[in-house]
Copies of this chain bind each other. A is one copy, B any other.
Amino acid sequence: MKIHIVKIGGNLINHTEFLNHSLKSFLKLSGKKILIHGGGSKANIISDKMGITPKFIQGRRITDKETLDIVVMTYAGIINKTIVAKLQSYHCNALGLCGADMNCINSSFRSKTDDIDYGYVGDIQSINTSFIKFILNNNIVPVLCSITHNSKGDLLNTNADTIASYIAISLTKEGDEIELHFCFEKKGVLRDLQDSESYYKKIDFNLFQILKKNHTVKNGMITKLENAFFALKNGVLKVSIGHTDNLNENHKTILCL
């Protein structure tokens, strides 16, 4: 079956008006759909209030136990349930999930290197596609946050873009036609960060290598593009990066191999 997988992040989550608008665009997509969200900057605000300074290495949050509690509270708690309550108010039968629920997303602690101990960060081991299809087939809309688990009782922090790609790939392997949309507050991958209209219509893998080398893309955008190409290389039908306003239109960056 055809399934839209939409990942929302950035300022689309933090501002009520943007979030409402994004959810309405999401609901306009026809057919089966899955929503996946991060919430990093909201977690930063809550960390601040609790007097904890977030740590990052190469764009990835270093998650000690205290930080894990904050991201679980933020992603699986306030953001996930706010989205579910809003979707329910729009008559969408949403079900909020983290990776531990129904063993949706199994992960393992990321291996330490000499330089970095990521802490409570999980690398995905498996996706419970049969559960995801079970709920989609029952006309339920899953809303997944970026918390996974290792089946040993640990919750782990996992990049939401990566979760979106893995779910897209797992469902593709089951024979489903997946359109994967990475959405944020920009119209696409920008040539010039100061010019919101300067987005690339199309980026192929070679261009991505050039953009990385000349630093047109950096930090989180590299991770997003890597996840996008990882999905394409594993057979996902369509992958794009853009604003939720243009989910149903072509004003976005289309990725191709």
Contacts and interface: CB of A to CB of B under 8 A. Distances in A.
A49 B102 CA distance: 32
Assembly stoichiometry (copies):
2
A69 interface: yes
A145 to B, nearest CB: 9
Contact of A98 (B49, B81, B102, B138): B81
B72 A81 contact: yes
- Sorting the interface of chain A by its residue count into under 10, 10 to 19, 20 to 34 or 35 or more gives 35 or more
Given A73-B73, A85-B100, 12 more contacts: A46-B50, A49-B50, A49-B51, A50-B50, A76-B77, A76-B96, A81-B101, A84-B98, A84-B101, A95-B102, A96-B98, A102-B140
16 contacts: A73-B73, A76-B77, A77-B78, A77-B80, A81-B98, A85-B153, A88-B149, A88-B151, A88-B153, A89-B153, A93-B103, A95-B97, A95-B102, A96-B97, A96-B100, A96-B101
